[in-house]
């Protein structure tokens, strides 16, 4: 009897002697194979949050999880709708208390290539950005502590976190990491613009890409030329390359005085007043309204702004070359060509990708 007891004790001791608190040692994560378009730069993945199949799937569930809001009605997808290119078709998003913000929700496209987040760039990592909306009183209005309690209560999430992170102790950072992993997989790179771009650089087109290129019209090509033209739209200074944005801030001449200081509200520098993160133009036809405050409902209004509505101010971007004459002064035909080109940035595969849709 004693020998059996001692043997049992020995086995138990051996099994548990090296277990850390909360650590479940049974799961191996599967590296996620993120396929990038051939004309894209590499994506920098943080060392402390590599992409795994389990992490991405958990992140997808969390992105659509309404339990992260105080009244269980609002998920991330509520203000970043798949139908709107993961932006908000409303000018301002409405939180669970009915309060509205003062900025239009940004589209969640190709985030893995970006270096700062929010219109004012106050978050320097995607993980940091994700931590904000949940406790924000005008958004999801729930403490992370309460959010974690809800997740921890759900056996589905306890298992998913165990598989993704080998822990049964859910916390806000792991939640943010999982959502960040999911968001990094949301890559948009198959549009008419992309095949035109590859053609320019004499990069080989696959049969599928060639078929898409065959659909590009002469007007769309002309619109692209005008978009790039120094004497035309002059748009490329801030919207260029395969990502169709630059990782910089800009005052694009919306106002002479600033109700919203933008980057200046974060850095408190006079030279940053009225400067905002340059957004991507990818899927622009799906992600209206436009600008940091959603003031322009249509692409026509945006083009009109750059053509004749530019306002001078102390911090206007030097790349707004024609600010002193109100803009680039396009005629009606040129405006139409620019619009036709902007429509070529629509990537139907991205917008309808089931991998980014709500889990069943």
Partner 1 sequence: MKYTFLLSAFLGLSLLACKKDNPIEGTPVEEEKTTTLIGRLQLTYDGQIYLNDTLTSSFGYRYFITNIILLGTELRNGSNSLSPAFLYNREESGSLLFTSTGSPAAYGSLTSNIGVPPSINHADPSKQPNDSPLNISNVGTMHWGWNPGYIFVKIEGKADTLNDGQDNFDRTFNFHLGGDELLRTIQFPTVKWTELSSTSFESQFTFDLKSFFDDADPIDLRKDYFTHSTQSQMPLCNRLMDKLLVAIKSVQ
Q: Which residues bind partner 1 (CB under 8 A)?
A: 2-3, 6-7, 9-10, 13-14, 17-18, 39-42, 44, 113, 200-201, 203, 228, 230-231, 236-238, 240-243, 246-248, 318-319, 321, 323-324
For residues 84 and 337, which CB has a smaller minimum distance to partner 1 in the complex?
337
Q: What gap in Å lies between CA 6 and CA 200, rounded to an integer? A: 76
For residues 318 and 359, which CB has a smaller minimum distance to partner 1 in the complex?
318
Of 122, 70, 77, 73, nearest in space to 264 by CA: 122
Please report how close the Cβ of residue 316 comes to partner 1 at its closest, in angstroms.
Answer: 8
For residues 177 and 245, which CB has a smaller minimum distance to partner 1 in the complex?
245
Torsion sign, CA atoms 139, 65, 69, 98? positive
Burial of 217 (0-12, 13-18, 19+ CB in 10 A): exposed
For residues 202 and 360, which CB has a smaller minimum distance to partner 1 in the complex?
202
**Do residues 69 and 97 touch, judged by C-beta distance below 8 A?**
no
Q: What gap in Å lies between CA 298 and CA 287, rounded to an integer? A: 10
For residues 249 and 290, which CB has a smaller minimum distance to partner 1 in the complex?
249
Please report how close the Cβ of residue 261 comes to partner 1 at its closest, in angstroms.
Answer: 18
Q: What gap in Å lies between CA 100 and CA 187, rounded to an integer? A: 29
For residues 225 and 349, which CB has a smaller minimum distance to partner 1 in the complex?
225
Please report how close the Cβ of residue 343 comes to partner 1 at its closest, in angstroms.
Answer: 19
CA 235 to chain centre: 21
Q: What gap in Å lies between CA 227 and CA 230, rounded to an integer? A: 8
Please report how close the Cβ of residue 277 comes to partner 1 at its closest, in angstroms.
Answer: 13
Please report how close the Cβ of residue 194 comes to partner 1 at its closest, in angstroms.
Answer: 11
Q: What is the DSSP string of 12-29?
A: HHHHHTTPPTTB-TT--P
């Amino acid at each position: 009897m004693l020998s059996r007891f001692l043997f049992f004790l020995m086995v138990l001791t051996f099994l548990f002697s090296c277990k850390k608190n909360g650590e479940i040692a049974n799961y191996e994560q599967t590296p996620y194979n993120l396929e990038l378009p051939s004309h894209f730069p590499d994506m920098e993945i943080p060392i402390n949050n590599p992409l795994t199949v389990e992490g991405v799937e958990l992140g997808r569930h969390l992105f659509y999880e309404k339990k992260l809001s105080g009244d269980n009605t609002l998920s991330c997808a509520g203000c970043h709708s798949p139908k709107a290119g993961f932006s908000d078709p409303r000018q301002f998003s409405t939180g669970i208390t009915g309060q509205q913000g003062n900025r239009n929700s940004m589209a969640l496209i190709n985030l893995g290539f970006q270096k700062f987040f929010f219109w004012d760039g106050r978050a320097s990592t995607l993980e940091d950005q994700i931590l904000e909306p949940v406790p924000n009183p005008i958004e999801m209005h729930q403490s992370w502590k309460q959010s974690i309690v809800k997740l921890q209560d759900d056996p589905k999430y306890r298992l998913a976190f165990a598989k993704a992170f080998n822990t049964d102790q859910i916390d806000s950072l792991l939640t943010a990491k999982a959502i960040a992993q999911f968001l990094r997989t949301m890559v948009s790179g198959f549009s008419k613009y992309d095949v035109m771009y590859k053609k320019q650089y004499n990069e080989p087109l696959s049969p599928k890409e060639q078929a898409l290129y065959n659909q590009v019209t002469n007007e769309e090509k002309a619109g692209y030329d005008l978009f790039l033209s120094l004497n035309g739209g002059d748009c490329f200074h801030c919207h260029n390359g395969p990502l169709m944005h630059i990782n910089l801030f800009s005052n694009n001449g919306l106002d002479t005085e600033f109700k919203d200081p933008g980057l200046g509200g974060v850095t408190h520098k006079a030279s940053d007043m009225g400067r905002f993160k340059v957004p991507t133009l990818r899927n622009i036809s799906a992600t209206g309204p436009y600008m940091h405050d959603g003031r322009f409902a249509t692409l026509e209004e945006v083009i009109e702004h750059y053509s004749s509505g530019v306002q001078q101010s102390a911090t206007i971007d030097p790349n707004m070359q024609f600010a002193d004459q109100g803009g680039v002064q396009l005629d009606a035909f040129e405006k139409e060509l620019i619009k036709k080109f902007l429509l070529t940035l629509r990537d139907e595969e991205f917008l309808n990708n089931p991998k980014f849709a709500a889990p069943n």
